[in-house]
Each structure stands twice: as C-alpha cells, then as structure tokens.
Amino acid sequence: MLRLHCFCQSGNSFKAAFALRAMGLPYESVPVDFMHGQTRDPAWRAQTNAMGEAPVLDDGPLRLTQSGVILTHLAHKTGRFCGRDEAQAREVLRWLLFDNHKFTSYFATYRFMLSFAPAAPDPAVLAFLKPRIDSAYGIVDKHLSGRQWLVGDAPTIADFSLSGYLFYPVEESGIDVAGTYPHIAAWVQRLRRVDGWGDPYEVMPGERIAPRWMTQ
C-alpha cells in the first residue's frame, strides 16, 4: 500500500495527492500535524524525514521525500504523465526544477507568511517576494499563451507540480492569479477536469484554518 504523509494546507503535498489520484493509485493518507510543529520534532525527523518536510511517500519499503522526486517516481512507476519521449521527459524535468526553485517557492512562502505564520509578516520580506512571484508567474503565463499544457499535448507531472498551490482560496495569499494571469487561469480550469482532481481541503487530512494575517 502506498502511504502519503501530508496535510491539507500543503500545496506540495497536494501535488503528490493529485498525481496519485490521477494515476488511479490507491493510497493511505498519513496526517502530518505541521501547524503544531510535528515536522520540527527530532523523533519525527529521525523516523520520517530528516529534512523536516511533507510530503513523504512510502511505496512498500521505499521512502521518498521532495515532491519532484515523488512525482517522478510515480510517473515512472505507472508510465503515465511523464512525457511521450525522452525530449519531453527532459522538458518535464526542466519545469519541475523551475517550479521548486521559483514558481512554487516564492508563492508558497508568501502565502504561508500571510495566512499561517505565528507572527505578522515583515512588509520588507513580502515586498521582496512579490515581484519575484510576478516574474515567475509571468513566465508561465506567457508559456501557456499558445498551448494547453506545459509540455506536449497532454498533462504531465510538470502540470501537477506547478499547479499545486493554485487550487487554494485567493484569500490565503491575496494574489488574484485568475484575474492577473488569464492563461494560467484557463490552465487551472483544465486541470480541474483531469480525472482524480479534488479540492486540497477535501482530499488531504487536517483542519482548515482561517487566514491569520490577511485581515490585519
């Protein structure tokens, strides 16, 4: 049985959950109590993930961490969503690296600071992140202006990866992605129609939390 250690606020976890569901792979969700510090606990790190992060995927005796590694493993395991040939597989990897370095990285940090951080965010840090979000999203919006999917003519794990945080309410980040990036918005709607898609707050464990600092 596949086991996915995850929690509902985590877009990185949702990337893996989306892939598992789209691939039709049965799995068990293992709740991670990130908001109360479970991933910072030395025992959890020793037993589950020394990097102190979710998601974590158990595939029999194999334990995998980092969403890009998990997505790549699942794509190779099933032969699905990995690109049609070697050239597309390289392009998928290129977008996975861009996602982890910039597209998800900046946005997820910005959203966390505004919605879930224990202390109010430093305006200077938000000001540092926002133009970097705009730049990364502008690149992807332009790329999608003449195509349906990031790579080739069908969805791949690159689409699952980059979209991981885009199914959460705009109130959690204050960034109106749909109103600002029309090609990303249309792509997100296409992804919602992929078999296996579900709302992150419905398909992963945990309690939904009202944004902490957005109304301050």
Q: Are residues 9 and 53 in the same domain?
A: yes
160: CB partners within 8 A, 6+ apart:
15, 18, 19, 22, 71, 81, 191
> Which residues form the domain of 51?
2-80+199-203
Longest dimension (CA), the chain: 50
- The confidence score (pLDDT) of residue 159 equals 98
Whether the CB-CB separation of 87 and 151 falls below 8 Å is answered with no
Contact 26, 50 (CB under 8 A): no
In a domain, 216, yes or no: no
Tokens read off for 27: 């799995």
- Residue 214: the pLDDT is 78
Q: Which residues are within 8 A (CB) of 205 and not within 5 positions of it... i.e. 6 or more apart? A: 6, 7, 8, 29, 30, 31
Is position 144 within any domain?
yes
Say whether both 113 and 98 belong to one domain.
Answer: yes
Number of domains in the chain: 2
Q: 51 exposed, middle or buried (CB, 10 Å; 0-12, 13-18, 19+)?
A: exposed
Specify whether 70 is located in the same domain as 95: no
- Phi–psi pair at 43, nearest 5 degrees: -65, -40
Same domain for 111 and 174, yes or no, is yes
CB 166 within 8 A of CB 200: no
Nearest to 8 by CA among 33, 37, 36: 33
Q: H or E segment at 114?
A: helix 104-115
Q: Is 41 left (phi over 0), alpha (psi -120 to 50) or beta?
A: beta
Tens-of-pLDDT digits for all 216 residues of the chain? 899 999 999 999 999 999 999 999 999 999 999 999 999 999 999 999 999 999 999 999 999 999 999 999 999 999 999 999 999 999 999 999 999 999 999 999 999 999 999 999 999 999 999 999 999 999 999 999 999 999 999 999 999 999 999 999 999 999 999 999 999 999 999 999 999 999 999 999 999 999 999 754
Q: Do 73 and 117 lie in a common domain?
A: no
Say how far apart CA 177 and CA 4 lie, in whole Å.
Answer: 28
For residue 153, the Cα-to-chain-centroid distance in whole angstroms is: 21
Task: Look up the CATH number of the domain holding residue 11.
Answer: 3.40.30.10
Is residue 145 domain-resident? yes
79-100 as b/e: b if 16+ CB within 10 A = ebbbbeeeebbebbbebbebbb
Task: Look at residue 101 and tell me if it is in a domain.
Answer: yes
Q: Do residues 71 and 95 lie in contact, with contact meaning Cβ atoms separated by under 8 Å?
A: no
Give yes or no: residues 96 and 187 share one domain: yes
